[in-house]
Chains A and B, each alone.
Chain A
Amino acid sequence: MAQPLRTRRDLLRLLILISPSLLWLVIFFLLPLLLVFAISFGQRGTYGGVQWTPTLANYARLLDPLYLRIFLRTLFIAGTATVLCALIGYPMAFFIATRPARWRNAFLLLLVIPFWTNFLVRMYAWLFLLRDNGPINVLWTEGIHAAVAWLAAAIPAPFWEPLLQATSTPLRLFGTDGAVIVGLVYAWLPDMVLPCYAAVERLDPRLVEAAQDLYATRVRAFLRVVLPLTRSGLITGSVLVFVPCVGAYVTPDLLGGARTVMIGNVIYSQFMMARDYPFGSALSFVLMALMLVATVAYFRLGGEGGRGRG
């Protein structure tokens, strides 16, 4: 449908259509992007401003074990969340795809409703659940504790004592890596399920039957037929989950407490507390590079077009 520019009038039309967006994106996206890149080679001024003496010191500082550890931890948390999303989301795609046709859309809608709700609210729901005097811990220290005490009175045995002790104090759920991972999986699970579902739905069941007619075992038919044919969905889903997890700020900030720090939190503190813009810029640039590596790897692995941010 796209036609080449034949006349001056065509060129004028094109300019009227695209130049407002082009200008907006150049001024408020491209220029800021280049600015961050330039400033990442600058130095922090005495009063928090930027000194334009080129240096590689900010990037050298990233090799400090303190920051290396934070990078590794970020990759570990994002990677674990992605793997968990795949383990939970891939079978879920099969679950939805095997429902009767008239129910499928309802299940898909139920999947995306949380996606349209406010991100902060979804993270707050977990903060509320996991905190020391939240519902889970109330159940633990009141309900389970009472049950154990009742059992201990009914059947005397030596092993009740440690159990009574354990249930008398709240579980440490909030403020751990685990809490952050749960929050990330909760936030991005639909991003894994939807591309997997699209791949599973396209799968021709006759191919699986053919494999079984040729005496392939169930496991073999899955590994040699189903998995290769749905691989693209898994790859797309993994990129859609991994990229926002690496750049996460709100989830570790709310659920991770003071101890779990990801790159996003370091970038925040460099900009808003330490006012070290050059170092914060270098960190942001490395974050974007990680995202770019993930996206390029994705195209290499043969995924398909992506979907939006959450």
Chain B
Amino acid sequence: MKLPNKARAGNRSRRASGLLRHGLTAHGVLCYVFLYLPILVLVAFSFNASRYSGLWRGFTLQWYEALFSNAALGAALRTSLVVALASTAISTVLGTAVALGLERFAFRFRPLMDVLLYLPIIIPDIAMAVMLLLFFVLTRVPLGVGTIVVSHVAFNVSYVALVVRARLAYFDISLEEAAQDLYADEWQTFRRVTLPLLMPGILGGALLAFTLSLDDFVIAFFVSGPGATTLPLRVYSMIKLGVTPEINALSSLMLLASIGLIALSGALSRR
């Protein structure tokens, strides 16, 4: 008497598990559609011949041509690259050094230093932007490219340190000891052993810093002043003036650049 009952229950449970599996697959597919459809639509409409409508009116490359003749955009891109390169260079050196110091030595104020290092990561952008603006205004530092670089370093140091420390956690200290046993001095050990082994972590941190600097809008919005316009600031003012296919074209190129950066970071992490 019991057996058929159990068999039926087993049947039902098999059907339920099939349903669950298909439901999960459908959900996963829908999630990826949700993540990519807006981007794909955005890119598709950068080739749309109509200026105002969301209706498709034929293929054109004219919005891309318009971008390349836009001098203000070129200047903004240059400013963004200068800011990103400068802040990445400074924060990579500072962040790597502080990671080494914190991982190598135990000292009484280390937990405090940890907190100071991680706060810029968890604090909301807008709060950080406000703090820095107030600081620059009250100390009468003129706002411009310099203040953007300084502000970007203030959060990028933390990110670089985070990535390099993760790499240092797996560092085999006996390799350094071996170098010193072979009469390498401190500088040679660092230059020939420690630095090459840490390089993937350092490059990963630098790439993250570079991306975050290029991506930042909120902090640059507050501390840039009238003279300095980065690419995100330019994009923002274009959006505020109204939706145009040029912005779609520009967004598509920025997406392409990000994918290039991801490919680069993938190649770096595989080493």
Contacts and interface: CB of A to CB of B under 8 A. Distances in A.
Contact of B124 (A39, A91, A129, A246): A246
A20 B100 CA distance: 13
B243 A127 contact: yes
A111 B28 CA distance: 11
Nearest to A29: B154
Given A36-B127, A50-B138, 14 more contacts: A4-B105, A14-B101, A17-B101, A25-B116, A28-B132, A33-B119, A118-B214, A124-B239, A127-B239, A129-B38, A218-B16, A247-B127, A271-B130, A308-B121
Contact of A110 (B35, B106, B232): B35
A271 B222 contact: yes
17 contacts: A3-B106, A17-B104, A21-B95, A24-B157, A25-B116, A25-B117, A92-B31, A107-B28, A117-B254, A118-B254, A124-B247, A128-B38, A138-B55, A254-B239, A267-B130, A284-B126, A309-B155
Contacts of A110: 32, 35-36
Interface string A82-126: 000000100110111010000000010111111011111110111
A250 B218 contact: yes
A133 B236 CA distance: 20
A118 B76 CA distance: 15
A31 B150 CA distance: 14
A116 B42 contact: no
Contacts of B103: 1-2
B232 A120 contact: yes
Nearest to B43: A125
B124 A21 contact: no
A29 B156 CA distance: 12
Contacts of B155: 309
Given A28-B151, A88-B31, A120-B236, A125 B126 contact: no
B229 interface: no
A26 B52 CA distance: 50
Given A3-B106, A127-B243, A98 B24 contact: yes
A142 B54 CA distance: 11
A117 B239 contact: no
B47 interface: no
Interface in A30-53: 30-33, 35-36, 39, 50
Contact of A124 (B110, B137, B251): B251
Nearest to B39: A125
Interface residues of A, number: 88
B116 A28 contact: no
Contacts of B228: none
B173 interface: yes
Contacts of A1: 103-104, 168, 171, 173
Given A249-B125, A271-B130, A133 B54 contact: yes
A250 B233 CA distance: 12
A281 B106 contact: no
Interface in A254-288: 254, 264, 267-268, 271-272, 277, 280-281, 284, 287-288
B63 interface: no
A291 interface: yes
A10 interface: yes
A295 interface: yes
B28 A128 contact: no
Contacts of A88: 31, 34
B161 to A, nearest CB: 7
B188 interface: no
Contacts of B42: 121, 124-125, 128-129
B217 interface: yes
B154 to A, nearest CB: 4
Interface in B26-69: 27-28, 31-32, 34-36, 38-39, 41-42, 45, 52-55
A125 B41 contact: yes
B202 interface: no
Contacts of A32: 131-132, 134-135
Most buried by A among B13, B138, B261: B138
A118 B102 contact: no
A211 B159 CA distance: 42
A154 B44 CA distance: 35
A14 B153 contact: no
B184 interface: no
Contacts of A247: 124-127
Contacts of A18: 97-98, 101-102, 113
A302 interface: no
Nearest to B233: A120
Contacts of A36: 127, 130-131, 134
Q: Among A17, A126, A243, find the residue whose CB has the most chain B CB atoms closer than 10 A.
A: A17
A94 B106 CA distance: 41
B255 interface: yes
Q: Which of A21, A30, A122 has the most CB of B within 10 A?
A: A21
A22 B98 contact: yes
A1 B217 CA distance: 39
Contacts of B122: 243, 291, 295, 306
Contacts of A22: 98, 113, 116
A116 B261 contact: yes
A131 interface: yes
B22 to A, nearest CB: 11
